Amino acid sequence: MPTGVISVRPLTPDSVSALLTAARSLLDAFGSATHPGLLARVPDVAAALDDDLRHACRPADLFVLRGLPVDDAALGPTPLHWSRAGDAGSLYDVVLLLISTVMGTPIAWPGQQDGRFVHNIVPSPGHEEEQTGAGSSVLLSPHTEDAFHPGRAQLLVLGCLRNHDAIATTAASIRRARLDPADVETLSRPVLPILPDDAYAEAQAYGGAPPPVPTLWPAPDGPALRFDPAYTPLEEAPEEHRAAYRRLEDELSRVSVSVSLAPGEVLVIDNDLVVHGRVPFRARYDGTDRWLKRASVRAGHRARPPAERSEHGYGQAVVEAFA
């Protein structure tokens, strides 16, 4: 159940029925959510979905779509690792693809979860302390998704299949933060790089010099941010920059909200405005742990700084679903 200042948008029964019918039809036709033929059909199917769904998906910093049914027993056990998920929960892979396509274009990374456009986010044995979706026992620090890369998603879509323990996602919008103009100026300078996270082993081995990037940048509709403290070598910055960065962290903490998604709820995050994380929890690995589906979406509603075009992206390329 979302708490704090966040918009909850119930889907109409007709929208839910249309989404599920379309997803089942695509799966019946192609057999798997990863089939290239299914992916090719998604834009036309999404274009035929109703205006109520489009209105529910209108842009905002952060919102929750509510109303999708999830049969917990029919899902089967939560996988112990994304690579063991197979086609489990594939109906919701297609539902997330359709919702994502209503808002933009799904993207994928060849080196992450076998290049899938919908990821399984589950706690995994041996990864408990990682700053990735497979972690559990440590706080997942608030961050911009894939902050290291200029091709990162504009929108992040998280669909909940199982969350018996009401484990919260945290979210904080830069638009609710109060920052001193001097700190904004300091953090708008490209001083430090953001390094690839642990989900990108190939990127971490890239030999090019890490490009410094601004933490804050001006967008036509207000300030935006690119933020990942766990992978930012803050100790290399001048004291003035470190102090401003810490004040930004404190302010994002102050305005943070908790979102404990229930099965069938879909959280949509504007990745240029909102940092997200997750509270620590103890994974049981008994088939009942938290299970989310995640899609990354390219949406053209906000231009990014032109300097990002010259970044090497640590050798990582983004794949668009319908290119």
User: Please, what is the average pLDDT of the chain?
Assistant: 95
Digit-coded pLDDT (tens) for 135-189: 999 999 999 999 999 999 999 999 999 999 999 999 999 999 999 999 999 999 9
Which amino acid belongs to residue 179?
A: L
Domains defined for the chain, CATH in brackets: 7-315 (3.60.130.10)
The sheet that has 257-259: what strands, in order across it? 140-143, 274-278, 169-173, 257-259
Q: What is the pLDDT of residue 111?
A: 85
Looking at residue 6, its pLDDT comes to 86
DSSP 254-313: HT-EEE-PPTT-EEEEETTTEEEEE-------SS-S-EEEEEEEE-TTSPPPGGGGG--G
Per-residue DSSP letter, 14: H
The model's pTM: 0.96
- What is the chain's length? 323
Strand partners, 281: none
Report, as an integer, the average pLDDT of 88-112.
Answer: 96
Mean pLDDT of 70-95: 96
**Residues 127, 230 contacting (CB under 8 angstroms):** no
